[in-house]
Amino acid sequence: MTVEASSLDDKFQYQFGPEQEELRQLRRTRDQLVQIMDSLPGLVGYVDLELKIVYANKLIETWYQRSRSELVGMQLKTLFSDEHYQTVETLLQRVLSGDEINEEREISYPDGVTRMVHLNYIPDRGEAGVNGYFFLVRDVSQRHQAEVALKQANELLDRKVRAATLELEQRNRELQNENTARRNSEERYRIVSELMSDLIYVYQIDADGSMKTVWQTGRLSEEFSPTYTADGHHRLWRPIIHPDDAQVLDSRIERLLQNQSSIDEFRVIDDNGDTRWLRAYGRPIWSEAQQRVVQIMVATQDITATKIAEQLLERNRQMLAAALESMSEGFMLFDENGELVEFNEKLKELFPKTASHFVKGVSFEELLRQSAISGEVKGAQHDPEQWVAERLKKFPSESGSVEVELSDGRWILSTDRPTRGKGVVGIRTDITERKQAEKRHRRQEAELAQVLRRASMGEMASALAHELSQPLAVVVNYANGLLRRLDESPVNIDSAREALTNINKAGQRAKDIINHVTDFVRLGKPEVRVESFDSMIEDVHEMLRDRLERNGIYLDKSLGPEETEVEVNKIEIKQVLFNLISNSIESLQQSDSEECRIGIECENSDGEFLTVKVRDNGPGIDGSVIQTLFEPYVTTKSEGLGMGLSICRTIIEAHGSRLWYEADDAPGACLCFRLPLANCDHD
């Protein structure tokens, strides 16, 4: 204390002069000042030009953990830590160059406390410049902290305000959205209600029981508007209610007033006198306070169309049921669980032995089993399960049907189709007659084949006669010639040999002809040879020449390449030509054309086949016959077996070719076939 005081004394001596009284006065003042300074909560002191502490107040001891005696005269650089010194170095330079410093710094002091301090350095200016500086260092940590806290608090508040604002805004938006949504939903509800309902109305019920409509909307609101009775009762439907449905309205209002929702259908008679069906959904609004129904909301639909549809549907259903019963087929319907849900009586008639098992809910499998066990189905009784398993494989079937023969000789056609609803519709048809007809048909076909053969034999007989007449003539002539020569003497042996050789040859030829015909009758593959097509036409022309001339028909056979050779069986192809030309002749006999002609057109189209067309200018072939033209027994002639073209086709097909009817614009009929050309490789 004294040390400091003395140094201060010097200072004050210097400053305040030597007068004693004044000195004492001054000392008192000084002491007071020192006390004041020591009691100051900040560091106060003086530092000289060499940055040595000249004076410092008491607090410095605490902060720097050193005694004041140590501190006075101590270089700041020694006192301060390096970090401390660096923090204030520039400030020191500035204050010593004359600036007053007012700064705040955070400094760690030796007492272990880091303080935010306000540094106030005041330069001590003398006449010769700065002598040193006064320092005043205040701990502003708390203020600073408070400031920081305040700032943080402010920021927090700020954030909170912002958050709150955002929340409010959000809420606001939500509210807006809710409002919009509500509005939308109300709008939607209104629209839907109006769509769903033709008339919506609300009526209010007063305490005295009188009612009045609060509002109403909807398509029918103009058509049906409420009327009121004298006592203020609302009357909407009552005046126009269908007499039979008045009761409905009574019980309805009763229920609603008892706070029960009510859905009612009733009829009204509109202004046009038409009966309209309405469906009204009523909903009471209960007031807890008044303990009564105060409002009733009603949505009404015009269901006239629906009712009509329902009635139609019902009628259709009845008709369907009637139709099912009147079907000549047995009908059954299984649902998606495989249970029988619908069937008709006919079904029972078809299966009398299992009729008692046709009940709703039964499975198809069970029905099959009963059918098998009862011996109803032919051949199923010895192993019913096996039969049932086999039969179930075709149940249901997208296409196709199953034909089942019953023990009593009847045949049932079973058609089981899956329905869209994963059920199965089964149709049972009695096809016994068809089956018998088929059997008859098969028998007839066998007979037909026989007849066909016979018929072709008949037609062949003429061809055969023609073919055989020549070798026979040869045989007869040589034989007779030889017989005559045997009467001569001496007999000319050479001449006899000539006759016998030729008789032998002619006999062989006759045998060949007969073999060919036999082959044809067997419908085997024809024995083919290279033949001149022209000569075949000539032969056939000769056979038919008189018929042609008699009917004034010109046969044009010069239409095509000459000297064409084909690989065919001559007799058979001549038979075909004969038949085709015969047909044309018969057709032309019915024609009243001036110039009847038959043309045989030949075309060597692809080097492999000769296309032959037999065309006439007769009335042609009726369109209805063309499809079945080549089938046996199809004929346009009043007296004809209908075998000709069938035989022709058989022959042509046996030659690996085909016969067809050519439909073109030219009048008359044109039948075509192709023959394999000779010198061609026909595999």
Partner 1 sequence: MTESGTATVHIVDDEQDVCQSVRYLVESIGLQACCYASASQFFEEYKDQGPGCLILDLRMPGISGLEALELIAEKPINEPVIVVTGHGDVPAAVRALKLGAIDFIEKPCNDNLLIQKINHALELDSSNRAERVRTESITKAYHSLTERERDVLRLLVAGNSNKEVARALNVSPKTVERHRANIMRKLDVGSFAELVRDFSVLNH
Q: Which residues bind partner 1 (CB under 8 A)?
A: 465-466, 469-482, 484-485, 495, 498-499, 502, 505-506, 509, 534-535, 538-539, 542-543, 545-546, 549-550
Strand order in the sheet with 340-343: 340-343, 330-334, 424-430, 411-418, 402-405
Shorter beta-carbon distance to partner 1: residue 440 or 550: 550
Shorter beta-carbon distance to partner 1: residue 430 or 586: 586
H helix or E strand, kind and range, residue 267: strand 262-269
Shorter beta-carbon distance to partner 1: residue 156 or 465: 465
CB of 541 to partner 1, least distance (A): 8
CB of 489 to partner 1, least distance (A): 14
Phi, psi (deg, nearest 5) at residue 107 = -130, 140
Amino acid at 148: V
Strand order in the sheet with 275-287: 211-217, 199-205, 292-302, 275-287, 262-269
Shorter beta-carbon distance to partner 1: residue 416 or 539: 539
CB of 483 to partner 1, least distance (A): 8
Shorter beta-carbon distance to partner 1: residue 88 or 543: 543
217 is written with which tokens? 């909307």
Shorter beta-carbon distance to partner 1: residue 240 or 468: 468
Contacts of residue 268, defined as CB under 8 A and 6 or more positions apart, other chains included, come to 224, 237, 240, 241, 242, 245, 275, 276, 278
Shorter beta-carbon distance to partner 1: residue 17 or 561: 561
CB 5 within 8 A of CB 56: no
CB of 611 to partner 1, least distance (A): 22
CB of 430 to partner 1, least distance (A): 56
CB of 490 to partner 1, least distance (A): 15
Contacts of residue 266, defined as CB under 8 A and 6 or more positions apart, other chains included, come to 237, 241, 242, 245, 248, 249, 277, 278, 280
According to DSSP H, which parts of 590-673 are helical? 623-626, 644-654
CB of 469 to partner 1, least distance (A): 4
CB 105 within 8 A of CB 121: no
Shorter beta-carbon distance to partner 1: residue 179 or 535: 535
Task: Return the ∠ at Cα 580 (arms to 576 and 582), rounded to 5°.
Answer: 115
How far is Cα 152 from Cα 145, in angstroms, rounded to an integer?
A: 10
Which candidate, 520, 530, 592, 598, places its Cα nearest to that of 559? Answer: 598
CB of 473 to partner 1, least distance (A): 4
How far is Cα 87 from Cα 121, in angstroms, rounded to an integer?
A: 14
